[in-house]
C-alpha cells in the first residue's frame, strides 16, 4: 500500500504513515496511531479504510487476543468493500486478493491461541482463495506464508511465533 496510488486519500496516507512507523521499529506508536484512526473512521466508516486499517492494526498488537479482534474486524470490513472502491485507491486492487492474507492471519492467530479447529477452517478458506492472488511479489509472499502457517497448523504447533503475512 505504499506504492504510487491513483487518488489522493488523506486517511490512507495516515494509515500508511502508521504502518511505516511500525516497520521502523515503533509498534507502540503505530498501534496508537491506528487505534486513533479507527476512532475517527468508525466501525461503520469506509469499508476500504477499515479493512486496511484493521489488517495492519492486528500486526502491531502485543496480545494475540487483541490481534484476533483486529483480524476479525478486517475480515468483516472486507465483506463490505467493492472492487470499484478499492480501485479508487489503486487500479490494480481486487477485493478477492485480500482474502488469502486475511484468512491466513486468522489461521495463524487462532493457531497461537490454541484453537486449531478455527485455524484449520481459516487455512482451508485461505487455500480456496489462493488462486485470487496476483502473480507478483505480494502473491508470492502470501503463498509462502500460507505454506508456513498450514504446516504449523497441520503439525499442531501452537507455540511458534507469529508468521509474517
Contacts of 108 (CB under 8 A, 6+ apart): 119, 149, 152, 162, 163, 165
Query: How far apart, in whole angstroms, are the C-alpha atoms of residue 162 and residue 145?
Result: 10
Indicate the domain borders of the chain.
9-83, 94-158
Q: Quick one: average pLDDT of 26-51?
A: 95
- pLDDT, position 165: 65
- pLDDT, position 8: 85
Q: Quick one: average pLDDT of 10-30?
A: 95
CA-nearest of 96, 61, 90, 93 to 78 is 96
Q: Please report which confidence band the pLDDT of residue 2 belongs to, taking 50, 70 and 90 as the band edges.
A: very low
Question: Has residue 160 got a pLDDT over 90?
Answer: no
If DSSP states are collapsed to H, E and C, what string results for the chain? CCCCCCCCCHHHHHHHHHHHHHHCCCHHHHHHHHHHHHHHHCCCCCHHHHHHHHHHHHHCCCCHHHHHHHHHHHHHHHCCCCHHHHHHHCCCCCHHHHHHHHHHHHHHHHHHCCCHHHHHHHHHHHHHHHHHCCCCHHHHHHHHHHHHHHHHHHHCCCCCCCCCC
Question: Has residue 3 got a pLDDT over 90?
Answer: no
Q: Quick one: average pLDDT of 47-76?
A: 97
| Digit-coded pLDDT (tens) for 86-118 | 999 999 999 999 999 999 999 999 999 999 999
Q: Is domain 94-158 annotated with CATH 1.20.58? A: yes
Question: Has residue 151 got a pLDDT over 80?
Answer: yes
Q: What is the mean pLDDT of the chain?
A: 93
Question: Has residue 33 got a pLDDT over 60?
Answer: yes
Amino acid at each position: 500500500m505504499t506504492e504510487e496510488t491513483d487518488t489522493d486519500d488523506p486517511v490512507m496516507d495516515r494509515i500508511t504513515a502508521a504502518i511505516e512507523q511500525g516497520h521502523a521499529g515503533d509498534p507502540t506508536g503505530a498501534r496508537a496511531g491506528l487505534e486513533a484512526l479507527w476512532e475517527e473512521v468508525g466501525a461503520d466508516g469506509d469499508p476500504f479504510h477499515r479493512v486496511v486499517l484493521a489488517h495492519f492494526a492486528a500486526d502491531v498488537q502485543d496480545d494475540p487476543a487483541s490481534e484476533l479482534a483486529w483480524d476479525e474486524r478486517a475480515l468483516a470490513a472486507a465483506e463490505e468493500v467493492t472492487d470499484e472502491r478499492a480501485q479508487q485507491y489503486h487500479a490494480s486492487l481486487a477485493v478477492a486478493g485480500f482474502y488469502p492474507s486475511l484468512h491466513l492471519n486468522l489461521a495463524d492467530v487462532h493457531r497461537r491461541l490454541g484453537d486449531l479447529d478455527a485455524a484449520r477452517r481459516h487455512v482451508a478458506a485461505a487455500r480456496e482463495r489462493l488462486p485470487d492472488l496476483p502473480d507478483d511479489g505480494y502473491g508470492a509472499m502470501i503463498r509462502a506464508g500460507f505454506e508456513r502457517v498450514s504446516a504449523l497448523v497441520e503439525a499442531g504447533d501452537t507455540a511458534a511465533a507469529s508468521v509474517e503475512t
